[in-house]
């Protein structure tokens, strides 16, 4: 009797389970098709990501390593995730490169091609890839610098037996960025002492022995932890070259929380001397990006001279809420790769960032309107909506007056809107995401963030990239940049353009809107 009763029960349970699994399968979107999954920005497959690490170009491949928790989608068990790309648009996910081991987490750092095999890690006449990263000890307050190397194009890595290679016995000493310094024929490491708001420079003939060379600090924004520095020569528009020293800071960023500042000057292998004209008012930091979601930006190493570009990207989030952004199963994205330059201005040098040129390959149809009034341009925009929400907009205006304002309202679906507003009198560019969509996961997510806008010869240009959960605004050829996450309820994008105030002479020289194609990964690899 009992048997008899139990059997039908088991059957019902089985049927129920089957039904449930069907339901769940129907509800589970395909990988990379989830709500808010960026379609042309890099994201980890199904885990947590923060800083970009070890970016290096070798043998036709751009490597992107990243701070990764292989076991979950919140910060922890820090290791280096890994992906490679041949065009910086499509990424192939590779297995974990460097894993937390023996109580040592793998914090941020860099990688170089050791062309001259100075380290002796090379094999079979091929130069090794060498990663220089911070070992973070979980059981004691200690961070020091370590090496790992690869002899198979970054596919497998060996931790150096002589680690650590640089140890100040400090709790906070991290994020080494190494480059070859040609004039002195040696390696230079720029590394942060976060709590002292300074960076140290060390020099080495072989990546293993490091000696103190100099330091820089106490300038720009100092009211936060200095992290993830970078140091590189950078071309000046119109000719010449200067050195850029990048210092990420958290908190203390321009929009609150994490931010990325830069210094322009000269570097002789030991000392970085800030350019006096650029940094005359030392109290005013120079920000690479004025939005809320641009952090830990560092550049690619070993880009061939024939390419000549300095490329970087940043982590598109903010420590104020990074762990709580409601995306599943992954958490966090990188910005698009950007090309860097310096622009001479009456106030000194300014960093210029442009979306890297290969991105235009994603343009899918689209069109342009030339020589129009703002009202005509608005009517043109009203006839175009982008259902996928993936788009690029370029706007060039002439005769910009000294007062009045221009507003670009970006509507997502029925309810959400992100406002981008150029205020000519104030000389500012504002991005308002207070009504963009989901923001309840953090009290500090919704907000209005402002960048300076330097208008010369009455010209304004904006280039904007829209992905499913981000907006990147490049104004004035990349002189003012705002990067922001937005989480709209619906992806569809509709744009409108209006001008207010004394704007009678304002003309739209050109307006282009391109829907963009998604750039799915060429191969995914789930962790661990």
Q: Is 292 in the site for ligand FRU (CB under 6 A)?
A: no
Are the CB atoms for 202 and 213 separated by under 8 Å? yes
SS3 138: coil
Q: From CA 518, how far away is CA 89, in angstroms rounded? A: 10
- CB nearer to ligand FRU: give 175 or 417: 175
Q: Kindly state whether residue 487 participates in binding ligand FRU, applying the rule CB under 6 A.
A: no
Shortest Å distance, C-beta 286 to ligand FRU: 20
Q: Does 334 bind ligand FRU (CB under 6 A)?
A: no
Residue 134 or 480 with smaller CB distance to ligand FRU: 134
Q: Taking CB under 6 A as the rule, does residue 175 contact ligand FRU?
A: yes
CA pair distance 216, 264, nearest whole angstrom: 12
Q: Is 152 a catalytic residue?
A: no
342, 442, 462, 330: which is closest to 393 by C-alpha? 462
CB 402 within 8 A of CB 425: yes
Q: Measured from the CB of residue 136, what is the shortest distance to ligand FRU in angstroms?
A: 7
Q: In terms of Cα–Cα distance, which of 419, 430, 436, 442 is closest to 487?
A: 436
- Of these residues, 46, 51, 230, 302, which one is catalytic? 51
Report if residue 234 touches ligand FRU, rule: CB under 6 A. no
- Least Cβ distance, residue 69 to ligand FRU (angstroms): 9
- Compute φ and ψ for 501, nearest 5 degrees: 90, -155
Q: Which element (helix H / strand E) includes 284?
A: none
**Is the four-CA dihedral 84, 89, 93, 97 of positive or negative sign?**
positive
User: Both ends of the chain: CA-CA distance in Å?
Assistant: 48
Tell me which residues in 23-62 interact with ligand FRU (CB under 6 A).
50-51
The strand order across the sheet containing 211-217 reads 174-181, 186-193, 198-204, 211-217
Residue from 227, 293, 320, 417 touching ligand FRU (CB under 6 A): that is: 227
Is residue 79 close enough to count as binding ligand FRU by CB under 6 A? no
Nearer to ligand FRU, 51 or 417 (CB): 51
In the complex, the smallest distance separating the C-beta of residue 50 from ligand FRU, rounded to whole angstroms, is 5
SS3 71: coil
Q: How many CB atoms lie within 10 A of CB 167?
A: 15
Q: Is 317 in the site for ligand FRU (CB under 6 A)?
A: no
Of the candidates 108, 83, 110, the one whose C-alpha atom is nearest the C-alpha of residue 180 is 110
Cα 30 from chain centre: 25
Nearer to ligand FRU, 51 or 432 (CB): 51
Nearest distance in Å: CB 67, ligand FRU: 4
Binding to ligand FRU in span 447-476, by CB under 6 A: none
Residue 226 makes contact with ligand FRU by CB under 6 A? no
Q: Under rule CB under 6 A, how many of the chain's residues touch ligand FRU? A: 12
Distance, in Å, from the CA atom of 326 to the CA atom of 332, rounded to the nearest integer, reads 10
In the DSSP assignment, the letter for residue 59 is T
In whole angstroms, give the CA distance from residue 300 to residue 296: 13
Counting contacts by CB under 6 A, is residue 335 touching ligand FRU? no
Nearest approach, Cβ of residue 137 and ligand FRU (Å) = 13
Of 175 and 320, which has the nearer Cβ to ligand FRU? 175
Strand ranges inside 356-425, DSSP E: 367-372, 385-386, 391-398, 405-412, 416-423
**Residue 100 makes contact with ligand FRU by CB under 6 A:** no
Closest to ligand FRU by CB, 96 or 495: 96
* Among the listed residues 59, 104, 105, 52, the one whose alpha carbon sits nearest the alpha carbon of residue 85: 59
- Could you tell me the smallest distance in angstroms from the CB atom of residue 112 to ligand FRU? 18
Q: Does 78 bind ligand FRU (CB under 6 A)?
A: yes
- Applying CB under 6 A, which of residues 174, 292, 411, 449 lies at the interface with ligand FRU? 174
* Extended strands (E) in 205-337: 211-217, 225-235, 241-250, 259-267, 272-274, 295-299, 311-315
State in angstroms the smallest separation of the CB of 172 from ligand FRU. Answer: 9
With CB under 6 A as the contact rule, the residue among 111, 191, 228, 245 that binds ligand FRU is 228
**Position 68 contacts ligand FRU (CB under 6 A):** no
Q: Between 227 and 392, whose beta carbon lies closer to ligand FRU?
A: 227
Tell which one of 142, 244, 260, 296 touches ligand FRU (CB under 6 A).
296
For residues 114 and 227, which CB has a smaller minimum distance to ligand FRU in the complex?
A: 227
If the CB atoms of residues 67 and 418 are measured against ligand FRU, the closer one turns out to be: 67
213 binds ligand FRU (CB under 6 A): no
C-beta of 325 vs 420, nearer to ligand FRU: 325
Query: Does the footprint of ligand FRU cover residue 108 (CB under 6 A)?
Result: yes
Q: Which of these, 99, 213, 118, lies nearest to 166 by C-alpha position?
A: 213
- Here's the x/- map for ligand FRU, 134-163, by CB under 6 A: it reads as x-----------------------------
- CA 100 to chain CA centroid, nearest Å: 24
Query: Is 332 a binder of ligand FRU (CB under 6 A)?
Result: no
Residues 117-136 as x/- pattern, contact with ligand FRU by CB under 6 A: -----------------x--
Dihedral pair phi/psi, residue 494, rounded to 5°: -130, 135
Residues 242/342, Cβ–Cβ less than 8 Å: yes
Q: DSSP letters along 147-175, please?
A: EEEESSTTSS-EE-TT--SEEEEESS-EE
- Tell me the closest approach of the beta carbon of residue 297 to ligand FRU, in angstroms: 11
The reply on whether position 67 binds ligand FRU by CB under 6 A is: yes
Q: Which residues bind ligand FRU (CB under 6 A)?
A: 50-51, 67, 78, 107-108, 134, 174-175, 227-228, 296
Residues with catalytic annotation?
Answer: 51
């Amino acid at each position: 009797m009992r048997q008899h009763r139990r059997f039908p029960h088991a059957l019902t349970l089985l049927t129920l389970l089957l039904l449930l699994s069907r339901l769940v399968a129907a509800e589970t979107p395909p990988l990379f098709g989830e709500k808010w999954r960026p379609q042309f920005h890099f994201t980890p497959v199904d885990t947590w990501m923060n800083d970009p690490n070890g970016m290096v170009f070798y043998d036709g491949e751009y490597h992107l390593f990243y701070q990764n928790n292989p076991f979950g989608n919140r910060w922890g068990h820090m290791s280096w995730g890994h992906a490679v790309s041949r065009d910086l648009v499509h990424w192939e996910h590779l297995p974990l490169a460097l894993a937390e081991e023996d109580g040592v987490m793998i914090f941020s750092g860099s990688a170089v091609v050791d062309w001259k095999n100075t380290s002796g890690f090379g094999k079979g006449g091929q130069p090794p890839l060498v990663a220089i990263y911070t070992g973070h000890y979980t059981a004691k307050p200690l961070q020091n610098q370590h090496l790992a190397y690869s002899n198979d194009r970054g596919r497998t890595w060996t931790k150096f037996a002589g680690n650590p290679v640089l140890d100040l016995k400090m709790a906070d000493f991290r994020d080494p960025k190494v480059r070859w310094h040609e004039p002195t024929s040696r390696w230079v490491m720029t590394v942060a002492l976060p709590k002292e708001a300074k960076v140290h420079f060390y020099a080495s003939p072989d990546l293993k022995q490091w000696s103190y060379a100099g330091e820089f600090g106490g300038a720009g924004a100092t009211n936060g932890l200095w992290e993830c520095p970078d140091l590189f020569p950078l071309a000046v528009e119109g000719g010449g070259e200067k050195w850029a020293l990048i210092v990420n800071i958290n908190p203390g960023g321009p929009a609150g929380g994490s931010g990325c500042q830069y210094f322009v000057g000269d570097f002789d292998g030991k000392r970085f001397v800030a350019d006096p004209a650029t940094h005359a008012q030392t109290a005013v930091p120079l920000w690479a990006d004025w939005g809320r979601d641009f952090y830990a930006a560092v550049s690619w190493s070993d880009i061939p001279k024939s390419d000549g570009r300095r490329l970087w990207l940043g982590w598109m989030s903010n420590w104020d809420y990074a762990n709580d952004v409601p995306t599943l199963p992954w958490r966090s994205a990188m910005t698009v790769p950007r090309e860097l330059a310096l622009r001479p201005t009456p106030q000194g040098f300014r960093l210029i960032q442009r979306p890297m040129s290969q991105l235009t390959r994603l343009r899918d149809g689209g069109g342009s309107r030339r020589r129009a009034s703002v009202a005509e341009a608005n009517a043109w925009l009203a006839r175009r909506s982008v259902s996928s929400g993936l788009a690029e907009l370029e706007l060039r205006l002439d005769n910009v007056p000294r007062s009045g304002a221009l507003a670009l309202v970006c509507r997502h679906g029925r309810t959400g809107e992100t406002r981008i507003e150029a205020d000519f009198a104030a000389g500012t560019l504002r991005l308002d995401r207070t009504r963009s969509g989901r923001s309840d996961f953090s009290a500090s997510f919704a907000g209005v963030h402002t960048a300076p806008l330097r208008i010369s010869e009455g010209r304004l240009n904006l280039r904007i990239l829209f992905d499913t959960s981000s907006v990147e605004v490049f104004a004035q050829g990349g002189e003012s940049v705002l990067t922001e996450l937005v989480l709209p309820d619906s992806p569809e994008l509709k744009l409108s353009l209006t001008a207010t105030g004394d704007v009678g002479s304002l003309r739209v020289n050109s307006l282009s809107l391109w829907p963009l194609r998604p750039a799915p990964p060429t191969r995914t690899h789930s962790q661990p």
